[in-house]
Structure 1
Amino acid sequence: MTRLSTVLRTSTAQAHEDAERSPFMTRLLAGDGIPADFSALTAQLYPVYAALEAALDRFASHPVVAAVHDPALARTDRLASDLAELYGPTWAARRADGSIPTLPATAVYVDRLIRLDRPEALVAHHYVRYLGDLSGGQIVARLVARHYGVPAEALSFYRFEAIPKRKAYKDAYRARLDALALDDRTRALVVATAIEAFGLNRAVFTDLETARHRRPLHVA
Structure 2
Amino acid sequence: MTVLPFSQALRERTWASHSDSEGAGFMTDLMKGEGTREDYIALVAQHYFIYEAIEGAEQVFAGDPVVAHFATPRLTRLPALEADLEYLLGADWREQIEPLPTTVAYVDRIRRVAAERWSGGFVAHHYTRYLGDLSGGQFIRKVMQRRFGFETNGVGFYLFDEIADPKEFKETYREQLDAVGWDAAERERVIDEVLLAYRFNTELFEDLARAKAAA
TM range (shorter): over 0.9
Instruction: Indicate the SS of the match to 1:153.
Output: coil
Contact 1:31 1:148 in 2 (8 A): no
| Aligned position for 1:168 | 168
The answer on whether the counterparts of 1:55 and 1:113 sit within 8 Å (CA) in structure 2 is yes
Q: Find the counterpart in structure 2 of residue 142 from structure 1.
A: 142
* Corresponding residue for residue 194 of structure 1: 194
Structure 2 residue aligned with 1:105, among 97, 102, 105? 102
Letter in 2 for 1:112: R
More moved, 186-195 vs 56-65: 56-65
Provide the secondary structure at the position in 2 that maps to 1:63.
coil
The Cα offsets for residues 60-96 of structure 1, whole Å up to 9 and x where unpaired, read as 211111111111000011100100001000012x1xx
Q: Among all aligned residue pairs of Structure 1 and Structure 2, give the percentage whose two residues are the same amino acid.
A: 40
Deviations 1:90-141 (A, max 9, x none): 012x1xxxx4221111111011011112111110001000000000000000
Distance across 2 between alignment mates of 1:174 and 1:119? 16
CA–CA distance in structure 2, aligned partners of residues 135 and 114 of structure 1:
25
Tell me, in whole angstroms, the C-alpha distance in 1 between the residues paired with 2:101 and 2:175. 36
**Given the alignment of the two structures, is residue 157 of structure 1 paired with residue 157 of structure 2, yes or no?**
yes
SS at 2:144 equivalent: helix
Greater RCO structure (CA 8 Å; 6+ sep): 1
Name structure 2 gaps, 5 residues minimum.
none
Deviation, structure 1 residue 151: 4.2
Whole-Å separation in 2 of the counterparts to 1:128 and 1:100: 24
SS in 2 for 1:32: coil
Query: Shift in Å at residue 32 of structure 1?
Result: 0.4
- TM-score normalized by structure 2? 0.95
Q: Whole-Å Cα distance in 1 between the matches of residues 179 and 106 of structure 2?
A: 28
2:128 aligns with 128
Gaps of 5+ in 1: 216-220
Amino acid corresponding to residue 104 of structure 1 in structure 2: P
Q: Is the 8 A contact 1:35 1:150 kept in 2?
A: no
Aligned to 1:218: none
Counterpart for residue 20 of structure 2: 18
User: Take 2:145 and 2:210, find their aligned partners in 1: how far apart are those partners?
Assistant: 23
1:193-212 alignment runs, 5 A limit: 193-212=193-212
- CA distance in 2 between counterparts of 1:37 and 1:200 reads 18
Q: For 1:67 and 1:82, how far apart are their aligned partners in 2?
A: 28
- What TM-score comes out, normalization by structure 1 length? 0.93
Please list the CA deviations of residues 169-215 of structure 1 after superposition, one character each: whole Å capped at 9, or x if unmatched: 11111101110001011000110000110001111111001111122
Alpha-carbon separation, structure 2, partners of 1:57 and 1:100: 24
